[in-house]
Chain A
Amino acid sequence: MEEINNLLYQLVLVVTFVAAAAYIVFFISQNKRIRKIARVILLASGILQTLYIAFRFVLVGHTPITSHHEAVVFFAWATTWAYLSFRWRYTVKNFGTFVTVLIFSLLLVASFSSWEILPLVPALQSLWLPIHAGVSIIAYGFLSLAFCGGLMYLLLERELKSKKFGYFFARFPSLDALDQLNSHCLTAGFVFLTLGIVTGSIWARQAWGTYWHWDPKETWSLITWFLYLVQVHQRFTVGWRGKKAAVMAIVGFASVVFTLWGVTYLLGGVHSYAG
């Protein structure tokens, strides 16, 4: 069984790589047919990721989000589906290229950490696990989209300001579209992030008796949450938008990534995967 599971993961990697490559080819050539193909491949990758996670769920008997590998795969999965669901509603020109490359990078990172299946620590055996971890990871998915949007915004803004219209000018959507994207992803991501923190603290109350006990991961989640809170607040009160918002989306994402990895490796704590 585990063999098949590993094989499935390798398949996910390969398919996602092909999707990313196809998107890059599309980005360079702007050939619409290639984009169509790339989209289908990315959809296939999304389905395969879902299968992989489902398979692993059956295999380990709980939501596969407790090891580092699993968490990052989940992250990639959330980004993929956040993007695909997003695309459903409206298109942002050439956004797919950036997102797919990010998804592939995440999956690649996940492949370097142990794929091993480990028994679950008693403290984590709860219905809250899928709720808390799932919601948080979905938040990360949206926030990573905001990151990609922010990156694109900065690239395009630089070309517009420097008045050197080159590569990105022709290929990128309008600044407004990127800013809108940022705003939507930020709002969605922020709501899920808040839910993640609330469910986490309820779960903590049940498992350890306190809502909050300043575990490093909790602290960093809170920092991340505040970073996004500031963005949401500023956007709706004084109209923080454009470059500032894009920079903040990138800073926020850096904080997300640190919460996910940095904390585990550098600071430890109850959230350390499979501790």
Chain B
Amino acid sequence: MQGEKIVLLGVNHKTTPVEVREKIALSTGYEEPLIALKNITGVKEYYLLSTCNRVELLLVTDAGAEVEDAIIEFLFGSRIPREECRNYLYLHYGEEAIHHLFMVAASLDSMVVGEAQILGQLKEAYRHAAQFNCTGPLLNKLLHKSFSVAKRVRTETAIGSSAVSISYAAVQLAKKIFGNLQEKKVMLVGAGEMAELAAEHLVGQGVGSVVVANRTLARAVDLAKRFNGTAVSIEELVSQLEHVDIIISSTGATDIILYKEQVKAIMRSRMNKPLFFIDIAVPRDLDPKLIDIDNVYLYDIDDLSSVVEMNKSERDKEAIKASRIVDEETLKFQRWCQGMAVTPTIQALKSRIESIGRNELERTLTRMGDISEKDRKNLEKMISSLTSKLLHNPLMYLKEESCAGRDNSDRKITVVREIFGLGNGDEHKSS
């Protein structure tokens, strides 16, 4: 257990442009990468978070830089030159890693500060990691703590109430282009959660009608029903462009699904009425060259963030308050870690037993009055061998390597601390 440390590494919307993120994004779901990570030696616990704005790995490891290299290899593969990777990647250790995780959970690191989606994504990521036994006592504790930090931030600050989301930004842009959204038609391509949310916002702003295009028609029909809209199949995408004004695309397609030439051809029959495309898929669905067409406006997820950026100043005050909470919780957790780690427990146990022995020895010596130097030595020797024998088994118990990869140190520490009355690591937390 010695030298064990928490490492967080990843990329997010701040450090990495969408062109790179879409290459890293784990589009296959959590299962495959989580299993693949098991093969990296030296990693004791790990969990993986992948959203459209970030890919992050949290590890507990006692190995050195070779694990980091292996993880980087895993993340970037051969898709991106190695020397470039380091520019995009951020690496945090220990307290910094904890702080970052809390910031993410509390939605302070989000593109849209204060949005609530991230916590759900975090929980889901954790659920997957736990399911594959990737997390251990430390990460379990840490992640649960991050959820409660997020909750605390949400209840104690107003950061969520003014939460401006990507969908809000989309509405704002739509209004800048169309003015009045009534009688405008919105089409959802793909049935992602984000798209759904954006559509909800637009409908709330009075958008006339909703069309849903999806690969599986059944899903499209379901979603369309929610908005009192109509469902079409994805093959009708291009012909539908003639009738709709706002297109929100969020399919899981790995390639571009709509090209510049296709849209250009449709503009004439639209009488050049403006088209507003929002591409919230990563990897992107829409040809970035669409923007070159007159009266066509295209925004991908990064572009929306700059709109969000504008609305930010209002929330800055709340964010300061929120990050104070995060700092506080990071500190508490750090203390807890220190208290709960095996080494400090061993030390505490040793000093407890040894101090008992020393105290009792001194008391006996004063009561005995004059004794020879030799007797005194013998007594001391007896006490020290007594203590070390007493300590032997508990220490072995603590130091013992976990069996079958299962790490029980958390439980063991608690047991030892309770039996020997070493106090609970939590005592610092009650402040």
CB of B272 within 8 A of chain A? yes
The answer to whether A238 and B272 touch across the interface, beta carbons within 8 angstroms, is: yes
A242 with B294: in contact, given A163-B299, A163-B306, A176-B274 (CB under 8 Å)? Answer: yes
Query: With the chains together, A156 CA to B303 CA distance in Å?
Result: 16
A243 with B180: in contact, given A165-B307, A238-B268 (CB under 8 Å)? Answer: no
> In the assembled complex, how far is the CB of residue A19 from the closest CB belonging to chain B, in whole angstroms?
27
Which one of A175, A180, A241, A242 lies within 8 Å of B176 (CB-CB)? A175
Q: Which residues of A contact B178 (CB under 8 A)?
A: 174-176
Query: With the chains together, A239 CA to B270 CA distance in Å?
Result: 8
CB of B399 within 8 A of chain A? no
The answer to whether A173 and B179 touch across the interface, beta carbons within 8 angstroms, is: yes
CB of B310 within 8 A of chain A? yes
Query: With the chains together, A180 CA to B177 CA distance in Å?
Result: 12
The answer to whether A242 and B303 touch across the interface, beta carbons within 8 angstroms, is: no
Chain A interfacial residues counted at CB < 8 A: 22
Within 8 A of B (CB), among A159-181: 160-161, 163-165, 169-170, 172-177, 180
CB of A244 within 8 A of chain B? yes
Chain B interfacial residues counted at CB < 8 A: 22
Q: Which residues of B contact A175 (CB under 8 A)?
A: 176-179, 274
Which one of B175, B179, B180, B272 lies within 8 Å of A242 (CB-CB)? B272
> In the complex, which residue of chain A has the Cβ closest to the Cβ of B177?
A175
Interface string of A137-175 (1 = CB under 8 A from B): 000000000000000000010001101110001101111
Query: With the chains together, A252 CA to B271 CA distance in Å?
Result: 22
CB of B291 within 8 A of chain A? yes
Q: Which residues of B contact A156 (CB under 8 A)?
A: 176
> In the assembled complex, how far is the CB of residue B265 from the closest CB belonging to chain A, in whole angstroms?
14
Interface string of B304-335 (1 = CB under 8 A from A): 00110010000000000000000000000000
Within 8 A of A (CB), among B253-309: 268, 270-274, 291, 294-295, 297, 299, 303, 306-307
Which one of B179, B268, B291, B294 lies within 8 Å of A174 (CB-CB)? B179
Q: Which residues of B contact A241 (CB under 8 A)?
A: 271-273, 295
Q: What are 17 pairs between A and B in contact, CB < 8 Å? A: A160-B173, A163-B299, A165-B310, A169-B176, A170-B310, A173-B179, A174-B179, A175-B179, A176-B177, A176-B180, A177-B179, A180-B179, A239-B270, A239-B272, A240-B272, A241-B295, A242-B274
Residues of chain B whose beta carbon lies under 8 Å from any beta carbon of chain A: 173, 175-180, 268, 270-274, 291, 294-295, 297, 299, 303, 306-307, 310
